[in-house]
Amino acid sequence: MNRAIVVAFSLSGILAFSSCTSGSTGGMVPQSAPVAAQDQGLPSDALVGPESGDVPFESANPVVRLCPAMAGQMACLALLRTDVQPPLDPTQLVGGDAEQCPFKKPVPGYCADNLQDAYKLPSLTAGKDKVVAIVDAFGYKNVASDLDMYRSTMGLPPCKTADNCFRVLNQEGKSSPLPPQGSGSNTGWLGEESLDVDMVSAICPHCKIILIQADNNYTNNLYAGVTTAEKLAKFVSNSWGGGPEGPDDPIFHKPGVVITAAAGDCGGGYTASCGGGGPQQPCSYTYVVCVGGTHLLRAHNARGWDETVWNDWAFDECGGPCGATGSGCSIKIAKPAWQTDKGCKMRSEADVSATAAVSAPVIVYNSELESSTGPCKPPQCFWLFGGTSVATPIIASVFALAGNPAAQNGAEGIWKHHDDLYNVTTGDNISKLLGVVCASKISYICHARVGFSGPVGWGTPHGIDAF
C-alpha cells in the first residue's frame, strides 16, 4: 500500500483522553489552562468533563488546517486534531450494530450513532436509493477500502463500488482516469475526502455516494466537478470555499438539486493568521445552502444535547488554526426574496448549521494520513476532525433523508420551516483575544440570538421536517 505523507506533525505525544476532565469530579487530574478555558461559554445545561463530548486540547498547537489555498484556488475546510487519536477497543468486534461506538471509553470524538441521535434523524430507515454527490479535489487511492472500514466499525451497512453504491469519478463524470493524489500543500485533500464520505455515511447510511475528484483545487476545475455532480445526484456537498467574493454564478442554480457549501472556518471577522473571514464563495451564492458550524455537547435536557456557535479561537494558544464558523452579509449577492432578516440588505450567510467544533470533533477513518513518526497502522487509523467541512456533508445528507429535492429552491425551505430546527442562541464567531472584530456592522451576523443569526443560520436539524 502506497502512503503519502500528508501532514508533517508529530503524534509521538498522543495522550489518552481519559487523563483529562473538567475538574468537576473529585480526585481527577487538575485542569490545565487550555482545558479550563475550553469550558468557557458553553450552554448552561451542557455536561462537562469526559462525558460531555469535548476532547480537551493536549498541546499548544493541536490543530492542522489541511488545505491552505493560493490565489485562484479553493481551500478545503477540514481541520485535523494532531494531539489525540481515538483508539479502537480491542474487546469490541469491528462490524457490530449501529447502537454501539466501539472505542475506548470515554469515547474521544463522535461516532455515527451520536450524530444521528443528536439531530433525531431517521438514518436507519430513510434515504434508500437517494444519491449524495461530493465534490473534492485530487485523488485518494484508498478511499473505497477506508470507507469500508469506517462503515463496518460504525455498524453501518456496506456501500461497495461493486454494487454501484459508491462511485469515484473524475470531474467529467468518468471512472478513469482519476486525478493523482495532491502533493506538497495539497496532500491534505485526501483527509477532506475521507471526512466527507464518512459524514454522508454516518447521516444517510442507505444513500448512494458519488465522489467527484476534480483535477486540482483551482476554482474552474472544482466548478466543473459541481456541474458534473448536478447531472448525477439531487444532493451535492461542497466542503470548500474561497475569496474574494464574486458575483452570483449560474453553475450553482440547478432547479431540483440541493447544493450545500461550507461557510468557512475563519469566523465572521478578519485575521491574518486565518486568511480572513466574512463572505466566501460558493457559500454566498443565492441558491446554495450555506452551512455554518456549532459546538455540539451532551446536556441535561430532554434532547440530551445542546449547541452553541462554534468558536475555538479562545480555547488555547493555537490562534487562527483552531477556527470559528464563517458568516457574512454579502457585498456582491442580492438578497433572495425568501430571506427575511432586516439588518443585512444583501444575501445573509449562513442558512443552517451542524456540528463543526474541533474541541468536540467527529471520528473519521483514513489509512493514508501519516505523522512524522510514520504511517498509522490499520485498523488504528481513526482521526478526529472539525471544521465546517464536517457540517456541510451532514446537512446535504439530511436533505437526502428528507428526499424532497424538487421542492427545494436553495435555502428557501429552511427559511420557511425554521421552526422545525433547533435554534442555537448563544455564542459568536469573533475573538477579542486575537483582535478579530466582526466584518459586518450588523451584530447578528457574528452573534447568535433567538431566531436567525449569521454564524448558525436558523439552527441545526431537528429531524427532517425543515428539509
Give pLDDT tens digits for 33-59.
344 444 456 788 999 888 899 998 888
Band (166; pLDDT cuts 50, 70, 90): very high
Residue ranges per structural domain of the chain: 17-461
Global confidence as pTM: 0.91
Instruction: Check residue 273 and give its pLDDT.
Output: 65
- The sign of the CA dihedral 405, 77, 281, 320 is positive
CA distance 347 to 286: 7
Lowest mean pLDDT among 208-222, 346-360, 435-449: 435-449
The residues, ordered by sequence, that sit 6+ positions from 189 with a Cβ below 8 Å of its Cβ are: 66, 67, 76, 136, 137, 138, 140, 181, 182, 217
- For the chain, give the number of residues: 467
Q: What is the pLDDT of residue 59?
A: 81
**What is residue 89's predicted lDDT score, i.e. its pLDDT?**
78
Question: Which has more confidence, 8 or 190?
Answer: 190
Vertex 107: Cα angle to 100 and 304 (nearest 5): 75
Per-residue pLDDT tens over the stretch 355-406: 999 999 999 999 999 866 678 888 889 999 999 999 999 999 999 999 999 9
pLDDT for 18 beyond 70 = no
The pLDDT value recorded for residue 317 is 56
Q: Does domain 17-461 have CATH number 3.40.50.200?
A: yes
